[in-house]
A = this chain, B = another copy of it.
Amino acid sequence: MDMLSWTCPAPLRHQPRVVMGHGGGGAMSAELVDHIFAPAFGGEVLAQLGDAAAVTLGGTRLAFSTDSYVVRPLFFPGGSIGDLAVNGTVNDLAMSGARAAYLSCAFILEEGVEMPVLARVAEAIGAAARAAGVEVATGDTKVVESGHGDGIYVNTAGIGLIPAGVDLRPQRVVPGDVVIVSGAIGAHGVAVMSVREGLEFEAEIESDSAPLGGLVAAMLAVTPDLHVLRDPTRGGLAASLNEIAAAARVGVVVRERAVPVPPAVANACSVLGLDPMYVANEGKLVAFVPPEHADAVLAAMRAHPLGAGAVVIGEAVADHPGTVVARTGLGGTRVVDLPVGEQLPRIC
């Protein structure tokens, strides 16, 4: 194929080059998938890219997922690139209902990284893997010249069994489903941004980085009939709710006052000019649950340490399919859009 005569199968509307926003997990990332990756890789994968894939191998149903981690700085209050690399992929698998069993771990190291820093990241990966009950089974290391990396980039992929009878996907969401969030939002993004910007707040805000496989297992023990789970990472709760609304062709109504935002996070967000709905979380999930199971699932979540702050924040509705609406405290409503680009670059 001659590079000069080659043209995009469906050129991106806005950008002749990759910009930071294409990595933000919002509308620009979706455009990259829809116009570049999905046509190149084939149709089957279209609906799966960006989430854990459910695949069948030897008669066994597996969840399979990957993420690269480029967070800056490598260490921040409450975590590091190491535990993010474990928890992020463990959580992607958990959103399929799967307990992560094995991870791969691949490093792209920049020449000159101090060996103790690398060792400290490796230690964090090992500790997080043990905490999540997952084994690092295979790995790879590449080194690039100084000026072609940023210290340490980590990729993990993970596999885990999907329990029988569990079928979590946005297409199963129907009007009337209850929307539950597992706890307070916004801590991860604010923790990373505050250290990056050198800001100090009255109370130090720590990342919520945590593995959600146990919480999901506790929820599935109530009923396998949950409809969809998402961990609201890049793009925050707003991105997760919009993706679900679009894929399920339902509207979503959120009671703004019900969304738990710690005062310290709300304060930091106002200083940083951020909306907590768009800030990344690394230890939270949002669930769409049939109303007949909502009370029992909520109780099971609250009985788990990582779901102690679980609350109902809204519901799926038949009106305005594909659109997320927030009811404000004053009785008004506003549309909660899918973020376009990247509010917080390199947050995970």
| B120 and A3 form a contact (CB under 8 A) | yes
Whole-angstrom CA separation of A150 from B111 in the bound complex: 13
Interface string of A43-56 (1 = CB under 8 A from B): 01100111111010
Which residues of the other chain, B, contact A149 by a CB distance below 8 angstroms? 148-150
Whole-angstrom CA separation of A61 from B107 in the bound complex: 26
Confirm or deny: A157 has a beta carbon within 8 angstroms of a beta carbon on chain B: yes
Number of interface residues of A (CB under 8 A): 98
Q: Name A145's closest neighbour in chain B (CB-CB).
A: B20
Which residues of the other chain, B, contact A17 by a CB distance below 8 angstroms? 111-115
Interface string of A25-52 (1 = CB under 8 A from B): 0000100110011001110110011111
A142 to chain B, nearest CB (A): 5
Confirm or deny: A291 has a beta carbon within 8 angstroms of a beta carbon on chain B: no
Confirm or deny: A84 has a beta carbon within 8 angstroms of a beta carbon on chain B: no
| B138 and A64 form a contact (CB under 8 A) | yes
Specify which of A55, A120, A143 lies most central, judged by the most chain B CB atoms within 10 Å of its CB. A143
A268 to chain B, nearest CB (A): 23
Interface string of A75-93 (1 = CB under 8 A from B): 1000000000000000000
Which residues of the other chain, B, contact A45 by a CB distance below 8 angstroms? 135-139
Chain A residues in the interface with B (C-beta under 8 A): 1, 3, 6-9, 11-12, 15-24, 29, 32-33, 36-37, 40-42, 44-45, 48-53, 55, 57-62, 64-70, 75, 101-102, 104-120, 122-123, 125-126, 129-130, 135-145, 147-150, 153, 155, 157, 159-161, 342, 345-346
